[in-house]
Amino acid sequence: MTLEFFEGIPINNEREDRFESVHKVYAISGDNKQHITLTGTVRIDFQGTSTNQWHSEDIFIYLRIDLPEDKALKVEQGAPFVTINTIYNANQAVHAGWGVNNFWLELPSDRLLIGPHYASLPIKVRVLVRDTDGWLFRIAYQVTLIGQLVDRKWEYP
């Protein structure tokens, strides 16, 4: 089962968003490039399953990027960073461990992020926990993007 977390959208009938400490910086350079920095934390509630093996899973987090109504963002460069933020172990932590093994942007092949008013930037993250009572509650992220706003092309069937 793949876990997915969308900024601004509660999951499983929860009342609150799982994204916290969300900060965004939007700037335009002299050559009209969009410079975007996104930071925050995501509550993932990921539990270990064994004291002998790592429980590893890929999760997706979708970060919200605000866009003008008729524009898309063509990403030219992107640098994500994701790390553990909050961990917990209910009993003795014998051979326990927590981690973020790797992370990357999951951009479409045309590198266009499209939305009517915002786009969702997908980041794939491999998290892991070792210990049956070990939890990785939150991960933290920072993403820097450079791109251009382009006209959004409407396609009709």
Q: What is the pLDDT of residues 115-154, one digit of tens each?
A: 767 788 999 999 999 999 999 999 999 999 999 999 877 5
Q: What is the pLDDT of residues 1-32, one digit of tens each?
A: 567 777 766 555 555 678 999 999 999 999 99
Residue bearing the bigger pLDDT, 92 or 153: 92
pTM for the structure as a whole: 0.87
Q: What pLDDT score was predicted for residue 114?
A: 78
C-alpha distances (whole Å) from 69 to each of 8, 23, 42, 149 are: 18, 21, 27, 11
- Give the domain ranges of the chain: 3-149
Return d(Cα 39, Cα 61) in angstroms, integer: 12
